[in-house]
Chain A
Amino acid sequence: MKQEQGYKKFGMVIDLDKCTGCGACMVACMAENNVPFKQDETDKRLSITWMRVYKLTNGKPYPDTDICYLPRPCQHCEGHDGHSPCVSVCPATATDYDMATGIVSQIYTRCFGCRYCMAACPYHARYFNWWDPVWPDGMEKSLNPNVSVRTRGVVEKCSFCYHRYQLAREKAFVEERRDIEEGEYQTACTQACPSAAITFGDLNDPSHAVYELKKNPNAFRLLERLGTNTKIYYVSSREWVRRSGDNYLKHEPTGKVH
């Protein structure tokens, strides 16, 4: 199945030199997507964070110490012709690669919680609902009505705020436009980032900012060598940060080796 010409390929370019690690993207994502939380979130392997910010260090002692914050949403892997790691393994077709948008979807009502997709994802971008969501009193009134809440026992993950895309398309349809503008569909994390480190758009559309940004010589993607073919590009002027994005043998230079 080849991605047809004219189809969109939504993705992000995240400038790691701009990211301050403030976590606004994580908060915005949780609020926008009704991501459940618990009273005790100390065990991060049980926390649901569609957008997670990692703290990277260069491992050097002072004064050469350097750190970098790396926001990690679902990478919306295309893999080889849409066979992303998680989509191809789901036994119940509860996750799908949309050739029209390049977005990997998750169908909560079809997922029966086998968690094979989580085992397949090297980015740990998929989360299981170990508990039923419990909202503090009154908070259920502030939930986003455009995003369904999930039940216990199913997997969930970043959807690139797909509901926003649907709303933008509906608006364009009502206004008798064939397509949406770049600014009409932006993810919550992109809009919340105070340092504008995240840029979102159609990677195939030359009029979108991401189209040029991804061509930056300092741009890289996470674990490119695995063939996951992701849609999240990272940019950093620091070589050690770029090298942290993939596994390299000692003698191999940073960058594309295949």
Chain B
Amino acid sequence: MRFDWKKRGPGLLEIDDFRIGRGETLFLYGPSGSGKTTLLNLLAGVLLPSQGSVEILGRDITRMRPFRRDLFRARHIGVIFQQLNLIPYLDVLENVLIASHFAKLDPESASGHADELLKTLGMQEHLHKQPTALSIGQQQRVAVARALVTRPEILIADEPTSALDSDNREVFMEHMLQMAAENDTTVIFVSHDRGLQQYFGRHHDVREFTARGEVT
């Protein structure tokens, strides 16, 4: 598996050629405002490059029709945000299953998988709690389950540990990476905290992709 992407924007990101292999774990760092989130948006197919293409699993997502691209994201990409990952009016299990709903997976097997994931994450007692009743650490664990319930090939995480204390952070990282590895999922992890880079196989500074080295 490989990623090819090229982007020639008016200034923010400019990437000639960048590839990530299946199962790799990639750590992207850089100060805030350096374009990390934009990069993730491009990868997830939520934003489109002004030029060039983004190829995932051998398919150019920039050439897909919007509806196809959204379905592609639902099936092949899991996303974890910094915080507030959960929809406040759905309970824990529903929050996880909403991902499989959009991926159009069989509800029964998805529900079984969701149970399994939440159990691994130590959340089996909280299945029907509202997100507001959970600690931030627990919320982020549910977010991991939601991102992985579709068995995606790619997991995109946007500073998911920034709101966690150091103990929780370690537990979270280990859970996330271990579960991703079990599924041979490529992990693309963005953070400004370089203390986390030890967990990852490859490291890149986002500023490598910033136009004409503006930030340096």
**Are A and B associated in one complex?**
no
List A residues at the B interface (Cβ < 8 Å).
none
List B residues at the A interface (Cβ < 8 Å).
none
